[in-house]
Structure 1
Amino acid sequence: MPMVSIITPSWNVENLIGETIKSVQAQTFGDWELLIADDCSKDNTAAVIDSFAQKDPRIRLIRQPRNGGPALARQAAIEQAGGRFIAFLDSDDLWLPSKLERQIAFARERRAALSFTAFRRINENGSMTGRLIPVPNFLTYEQLLKNTSIATLTALVDRDIAGNIAIKTEPYDDFCLWLSILKAGHIAHGLNEDLARYRVRGVSVSSRPLRSAGWVWHIYRNVEQLSPVKSAWCFAHWSARAWLKRRKF
């Protein structure tokens, strides 16, 4: 079985998914499988994925039976994943070539159930690269409640240590997953190296901060079942960090 299973949900990204796939194929670490769960795209996304899969057996297209959102698509891919490590990469984001090689060595050295890396933003057409978004050396469960540091495209889970993982059908499902791993007593280790590119797509930029804030509050109160006081305390810290993170491209 492959060492790493890469989980990618896709929906209507026919002009971007090819670049994402190529960034995986360019990895200096080659023992991977790329599981792309297409969420009933209305454009040619599935056909583009299939064209890559026909030429590279490490790439697999999973066709979702109905449109259910990224959480269900991620879970569908995880259920078919054979790798010890689970990595996450959304269908419009990119990895730098040494991402997997550097992070896997880092995770194995520290026996990290969950690790994450620094990254930079790019604009929609990839013509502009933003500042480095650094990460802390580690995060506990309590620290993650107040933090925004684990970007989905940088996360790597070691199932030999974390055990089986599952995506909750909640908004901000990735944040829920990181919390569930750390709540079990694990620590997330941060590799402060520039290894990924997060694409900021103009159609949703203006709505993301408020939407994300609402999702985080929902998770505090309804998923983690924090008290109103603790939720407010964590939310204040989370909001401040989110603002600092977004204040400059």
Structure 2
Amino acid sequence: MSPISIIIPCFDGAATLARALESCREQPEATHIFVVDDGSTDASASIARAHALRDPRVHLLQTASNGGAARARNWAALHTAAPLLAFLDADDEYLPGALAAAHAHLEQHPREAAIRLDIDYVGFPARLTTHPDFEKYADVLSNTVPSSLVIRRSAFLALGGFPMDEFFRRHGGEDGAFSWALREIFGQRRFTGHKQVRMHYHDGIHAERFLNIQMGFAQADPAATAETVRCSQAFLDAALASVRQMRALDLAHPAG
């Protein structure tokens, strides 16, 4: 078994959590599967407990109140010492062999910080999937959504985890900010040609909002766009400073 911890942030995700957990339990490379019940008011915690009884790799973490997916992911990352972290949203699912491919790639490329899995977009409206630019923008999403990410824990912590700005919590965009910093500081590659994560459509999904704007079906709010860029740049600057500081530190060597 390879040391990969899967982290699933969950807020009122009872309708889809079991599907996500089943897909995680089919990944033999996962040594821990953390469900972070982020202040849910539905049966999410009970579903996680039921799966934990059947699979000792499943662990339930609970927050007192809803703090957002970024905080939930970051908190769970502190509960494991596994060298690799994988993130899955509660309404997504892994396809067979997803983590095996990610683990093999990172074993073969020890100097790479992360690998992105390729996303299969299921149930999205035809006006989006038949658009001539769908594949182009789907690739952009596949390079940013957390469910595609498998990353070395050391790199994740060096970046500071996912940004937890209140603006991002209200409007989204922390995934893009994290991806930008990861790409600029460590670089990131993505598998292509073989889908490994399935993203299921539902009303209000962030991916639909992104595609609507990119394809001209909706207009972006200029003020929100400017604030997203500002917060993302601030996160990148802070991550760069952190990594540079770490690289400048002397490592202690045991006497002998």
TM-score normalised to the size of structure 2? 0.71
Equivalent position of 1:154 in the other structure? 148
Please state how far the C-alpha of 1:159 moved relative to its aligned partner.
2.9
Alpha-carbon spacing, 1:203–1:166, altered in 2? closer, same or farther (3 Å): closer
For 2:8 and 2:48, locate their aligned partners in 1 and report how far apart those are by CA, in whole Å. 11
Structure 1 stretches of 5 or more lacking a match? Answer: 125-129, 138-146, 227-249
For 1:162 and 1:44, locate their aligned partners in 2 and report how far apart those are by CA, in whole Å. 30
For 1:224 and 1:38, locate their aligned partners in 2 and report how far apart those are by CA, in whole Å. 30
For 1:33 and 1:97, locate their aligned partners in 2 and report how far apart those are by CA, in whole Å. 17
| Contact 2:14–2:47 under 8 Å retained in 1 | yes
Equivalent position of 2:11 in the other structure? 11
Please state how far the C-alpha of 1:39 moved relative to its aligned partner.
1.0
Equivalent position of 1:118 in the other structure? 118
For 2:208 and 2:137, locate their aligned partners in 1 and report how far apart those are by CA, in whole Å. 24
The residue type paired with residue 33 of structure 1 is H
Alpha-carbon spacing, 1:14–1:174, altered in 2? closer, same or farther (3 Å): same
For 1:149 and 1:119, locate their aligned partners in 2 and report how far apart those are by CA, in whole Å. 6
Query: Which string of whole-angstrom CA distances, capped at 9 and with x for unpartnered residues, describes residues 23-78 of structure 1?
Result: 01112x33421111111111111111111112211111100111111111111111
What SS is found at the alignment partner of 1:57?
coil
The residue type paired with residue 194 of structure 1 is K
What SS is found at the alignment partner of 2:15?
coil
For 1:212 and 1:75, locate their aligned partners in 2 and report how far apart those are by CA, in whole Å. 32
For 1:155 and 1:36, locate their aligned partners in 2 and report how far apart those are by CA, in whole Å. 16
Query: Which string of whole-angstrom CA distances, capped at 9 and with x for unpartnered residues, describes residues 72-128 of structure 1?
Result: 11111111122111111000101011000011111222232021021211238xxxx
For 1:107 and 1:182, locate their aligned partners in 2 and report how far apart those are by CA, in whole Å. 16
CA RMSD, 1 decimal:
3.2
Larger helix percent? 2
Equivalent position of 1:201 in the other structure? 202
| Contact 1:87–1:157 under 8 Å retained in 2 | yes
The residue type paired with residue 75 of structure 2 is A
Equivalent position of 1:167 in the other structure? 162
Equivalent position of 2:77 in the other structure? 78
Alpha-carbon spacing, 1:64–1:161, altered in 2? closer, same or farther (3 Å): closer
Alpha-carbon spacing, 1:205–1:3, altered in 2? closer, same or farther (3 Å): closer
What is the aligned length?
210
Please state how far the C-alpha of 1:133 moved relative to its aligned partner.
5.4
| Contact 1:168–1:176 under 8 Å retained in 2 | yes
Equivalent position of 1:219 in the other structure? 228
- Determine what percentage of the aligned residue pairs are the same residue: 20
The higher radius of gyration belongs to 2
Please state how far the C-alpha of 1:17 moved relative to its aligned partner.
0.3
Matched, 1:89 2:76: no
Matched, 1:54 2:46: no
Structure 2 stretches of 5 or more lacking a match? Answer: 236-256
Please state how far the C-alpha of 1:219 moved relative to its aligned partner.
3.2
Please state how far the C-alpha of 1:12 moved relative to its aligned partner.
1.0
